[in-house]
Amino acid sequence: MIVKAFLSQVTNDKDYKVVLKKRIGFMYILLFLGLVTLLFGFLFSFGDKPHLSDFLSGVYAGVGTVLIVSAIGLIFRIKRTLKDEVKIKQERIKEQDERNQTIIQKSIYSAGIVSMILMYIALMIAGIFNIVVFWTLWVLVMGNAIVYSVMYLYYSKKM
Amino acid sequence: MINKVQEYRKINKVTQNDLAISVDVTRQTIISLENGKYKPSLVLAHKIAQYFETSIEDLFIFDLEEENI
């Protein structure tokens, strides 16, 4: 559903409207995630380590609020776009423009490589201070590598 | 690769925006294309050639040395 809501390649406004409607569904999931994050923030405030509880509570509350506000904003924006045929065409062209898509793909690729390097460095440093952080980062680095390998095989067969 | 998109556009008195809308891309893509900063996909090259009622070979000229052909 997420893939169809964000990565669909459509060639006409009628199909694009369907994609936008699916996207609204995903925004409601984001809204729910925001509420859950906000709830976590509230629950963290009752932790037994006050300075850590306050910090984590603040982080979760902030992230939860951003998710909720973003989801609501995007839902309104998509609904407003759906009422205007000219805007639908403009948004479709802007989103599916091949140059824009190439820019996004290259940016994600570069960010992915830099993230992997930074995570690896963080993993090395974390190993000296905290084993839990070390294993969390280890899972992230390995998970990233596995996902890349799987997707590479998938796209190799598909294309 | 050299392209004659701007030349054809001016001959046919078409704005960058009109061309962009007709071939389903943004105006910025047409600008980058005309400046030689962006190489279009085969589909986009074909759409532009069809719009100007010409062939891809007339519109886009390969630099054999640059493309290592």
Residue of B nearest to A97 (CA): B25
CA dihedral A63, A66, A69, A75 (to 10 degrees): -90
Q: Say which DSSP state B40 is in.
A: P
Q: Which domains does chain B have, with CATH numbers?
A: 2-61 (1.10.260.40)
Same domain, yes or no, for A148 and A114?
A: yes
Could you list the residue range(s) of the whole structural domain that residue A70 is in? 1-96
- A45 vs B42 pLDDT, higher one: B42
Residues B47 and B24 sit within 8 Å (Cβ to Cβ):
yes
pLDDT for A51 equals: 64
Same domain, yes or no, for A42 and A113?
A: no
Same domain, yes or no, for A7 and A57?
A: yes
DSSP H helical ranges for A45-97: 50-82, 85-96
pLDDT at residue B64 above 80? no
Q: Which of A66, A96, A126 is the endpoint of a domain? A: A96
Distance between CA atoms of A131 and A137, rounded to whole angstroms?
10
Which positions in chain A touch B41 (Cβ < 8 Å)? 98
Q: Do A93 and B41 touch (CB under 8 A)?
A: no
Same domain, yes or no, for A12 and A81?
A: yes
Q: What are the pLDDT digits (tens) for A28-69?
A: 999 999 999 998 888 877 766 666 677 888 889 999 999 999
Quick one: pLDDT band at residue B11, thresholds 50, 70, 90? very high
pLDDT at residue A3 above 70? no
Percent of the residues in chain A that have a pLDDT greater than 70, as a whole number? 91
In the predicted model, what is the mean pLDDT of residues B10-33?
Answer: 94
Same domain, yes or no, for A86 and A117?
A: no
Q: Which of A96, A113, A133 is the endpoint of a domain? A: A96
Rg of chain A taking only CA atoms, in angstroms: 20
Number of domains in chain A: 2
Same domain, yes or no, for A22 and A66?
A: yes
Burial of B66 (0-12, 13-18, 19+ CB in 10 A): exposed
Distance between CA atoms of B46 and B16, rounded to whole angstroms?
17
pLDDT for B69 equals: 65
Q: What are the pLDDT digits (tens) for A135-154?
A: 999 999 999 999 999 999 99
Distance between CA atoms of A94 and A58, rounded to whole angstroms?
36
A101 touches chain B (CB under 8 A): no
